[in-house]
Structure 1
Amino acid sequence: MAQSGKIDPMHQFAIEPLFGTDHLSIGGFNIAFTNSALYMVAAAIVLWIFVAGGMKRQMVPGRWQMSVEYFTGFIRSLLIANVGEGGKKYIPYVFSLFMFILLANLLGLLPLGLFGLHPFTFTSHFTATGVLAIMSFSIVLIVGFWKHGLHFFSLFVPHGTPLPMIPVIFPIELISFMVRPFSLGLRLFVAMTAGHVLLKVLAGFVINSANASPLFGFTVGAASFVLMIGISALEVLVAVIQAYVFALLTSVYINDAENLH
C-alpha cells in the first residue's frame, strides 16, 4: 500500500523473506525463504497430493482418479499430436510442467485477502518463468545433440534452401532458436503480471471511490467491482491457457529435437 491512500499495483509482486530468514546466506549469497518460495512449495505439494490421490487404480475410478487420468491423457494426446509416438516418454515432464504452472497461476488467484493473507503468483516473475523455459530448452538441446549429433544443426537450414542462401538463413534460424526460452518465459510472465496489475488498479478504484463519497462508491466503485468479477473470471481462463501454451510450445520444441522438422 503506497502513501496518501493510493494503491500500489506493483507491491503485490514484492518478494519478501519469511520466518526470520532475512540474513540467511551461504557464501555471501542470500538464501532467505521467501513468499515466492513458499508458493512454489505449495504448488509442488498440491501437485504431489493430486497425483498421489489419483494413483489408486480402482476398477471403477472415482472423480479424483478420473481427473488425474484426464489430465494425463490430455498431455499424452498433446505430445503424440506434436511429436509422434516418440513423445510418450516426455509425458511425465510435460505433465508436471503443465500442472505446476497451472497450480501456480490458480493459487495466486485465491481470495486469501479475505483472511488477512496475501496470495503470491510466482509466475509473475521472469526469474521463475525463465528457469522453467530454460529447463525445457535444455531438454531440447540435450535430446537434439544426443540423438542427432552435429546433424542437429541441420535444423537451422530449412529443406530446399539454395546453397547461396545458407550463410544468410542459418544465422537467422539460429538466433530465432536461441530466443525461444526468452519468449517462452516472457509470454507467461507478461500475461500473469498484466492481469494482476489490472485487478489491483480496479481494487484501488473500489476502495478510493468508497472513501471519497457514497455517490462515487455506488457509481465508480460498484462498476469497478463488477468489472473485477469479470476480470477475475478471465484471469482463471488465462491461467489455464498460459499453462497450456507453455506445454504446447514445449512439445513443439521437443518435436524439433526428436524429428528435426
Structure 2
Amino acid sequence: MATEEVTGESGGLVFHPMDQFIVEPLFGTGSVGMFTITNVTLWMALAVLCILALMVLGTSKRAVIPSRSQSVAELAYGFIYKMVEDVTGKEGIKYFPYIFTLFLYIVFANFLGLIPTAFTTTSHFAVTVVLALAVFLAVTILGFVLNGTKFLYLFWPTSAPLAIRPVLMIIELISYFVRPVSHSIRLAGNLMAGHAVIKVFAGFAALVAVSPLAVLGIVAMYGLEILVAFIQAYVFTILTCVYLKDALHPHH
C-alpha cells in the first residue's frame, strides 16, 4: 500500500516533501484566519511549555548536586550568559533575559520539529521574520535611545579615508537593512531544506530496490539535522549579540 502511494498509478514517484510545511487548522477544516488555532499554534505552545518545564520545574529544587534537568538548565544559562558577555561586554548583560529566551525558544522549536509527524515552526518564514524583525527593531530603537544621533556613526566609518566614506556608508546602510532578511532566511531555509530532504529519502524508502540506501540516507540526514537544530539556534543568538553590540558601541 505504501509503495502504491509513493509510486502512484503511472509508476512515477508521487510524494510531496513540502506538504509537511502546510499550516492547517487544529480543529475542523476550512481556511486559516488570524485567530485560528493551527498546528503551528500547537507546536509553538509546546516549545513554550518545554522551556517552562526546563527552567522552572527543572530548577525548582536548586539542589547542590543538580539533577539532569537542573544541569541542562544551568549549562544553557551559563553558555548564553558567557556568549552575551563576550560579544557585547558588561553593558549587554542587562539584555541577557531576552537573548536567552530567544535561544531557548529556537532550540526547543528546532528539536521538537525532529519528532516524526511534528511541525517545525522555525521552518516558516512567518515565524522567523517576526523573530528577526523584533531583534532588528529593538536594536535600532535601543541604539538611538542610548546614543542619540551618534548611533548614525555606525554607518560612517571614521577610520576610512574621507574620499571613500560615502561609498562605505551606502554599503553599511544596505547591509544594516538586509539584516532581518538574512537573519530570518538563514534559520528557516536551513530547517526547511533539511526536513524536505529527509522526506524525500523517506519516500524512496518505500521502494524495495533502494530502501536500504534510503534508510541510511534518512539516518545520516537525521543526525545532521540534530546538529543543525542546535547550530542554527546558536547562530541566530550570536548574531543577535553582534547586532546588540553595534547598538551599544556604534563607533567604528
Normalising by structure 1, we get a TM-score of 0.88
What is the deviation of 1:65? 1.6
Partner of 2:111: 106
What is the deviation of 1:61? 2.5
Amino acid at match of 2:151: F
Secondary structure of residue in 2 paired with 1:166: helix
Partner of 1:248: 238
Say whether 1:17 aligns with 2:25: yes
Amino acid at match of 1:37: T
Identical columns (%): 42
Amino acid at match of 2:143: G
Partner of 2:96: 91
Partner of 1:134: 133
Pairwise mapping of residues 118-197 of structure 1 onto structure 2 (< 5 A)? 118-197=117-196
User: Residues of 1 paired with 2:20 and 2:50: CA distance?
Assistant: 22
Residues 45 and 227 of structure 1: CA distance in aligned 2, closer, same or farther (over 3 Å): same
What is the deviation of 1:23? 5.8
User: Residues of 1 paired with 2:163 and 2:198: CA distance?
Assistant: 53
Amino acid at match of 1:203: A
Pairwise mapping of residues 63-74 of structure 1 onto structure 2 (< 5 A)? 63-74=68-79
Secondary structure of residue in 1 paired with 2:15: coil
Contact 1:206/1:225 (<8 A) preserved: yes
What is the deviation of 1:58? 2.6
User: Residues of 1 paired with 2:169 and 2:38: CA distance?
Assistant: 43
User: Residues of 2 paired with 1:21 and 1:139: CA distance?
Assistant: 37
Amino acid at match of 2:247: A
Secondary structure of residue in 1 paired with 2:205: helix
Partner of 2:218: 228
User: Residues of 1 paired with 2:215 and 2:6: CA distance?
Assistant: 21
User: Residues of 2 paired with 1:21 and 1:227: CA distance?
Assistant: 35
Secondary structure of residue in 1 paired with 2:17: coil
User: Residues of 2 paired with 1:230 and 1:169: CA distance?
Assistant: 44
Residues 122 and 147 of structure 1: CA distance in aligned 2, closer, same or farther (over 3 Å): same
What is the deviation of 1:130? 0.7
Contact 2:24/2:32 (<8 A) preserved: no
RMSD of the TM alignment (CA)?
1.7
Amino acid at match of 2:14: K
- Tell me how many residue pairs correspond in the alignment: 242
Say whether 1:48 aligns with 2:52: yes
Gaps of 5+ in 2: none
Residues 80 and 23 of structure 1: CA distance in aligned 2, closer, same or farther (over 3 Å): same
What is the deviation of 1:172? 1.4
Gaps of 5+ in 1: 112-117, 211-215
Normalising by structure 2, we get a TM-score of 0.91
Contact 2:157/2:165 (<8 A) preserved: no
Secondary structure of residue in 2 paired with 1:81: helix
Contact 1:2/1:8 (<8 A) preserved: no
Secondary structure of residue in 1 paired with 2:129: helix
Amino acid at match of 1:60: I
Amino acid at match of 2:99: V
What is the deviation of 1:42? 0.8
Contact 1:94/1:250 (<8 A) preserved: yes
Residues 154 and 225 of structure 1: CA distance in aligned 2, closer, same or farther (over 3 Å): same
Partner of 1:213: none
Residues 120 and 38 of structure 1: CA distance in aligned 2, closer, same or farther (over 3 Å): same
Residues 107 and 252 of structure 1: CA distance in aligned 2, closer, same or farther (over 3 Å): same
User: Residues of 1 paired with 2:155 and 2:61: CA distance?
Assistant: 46
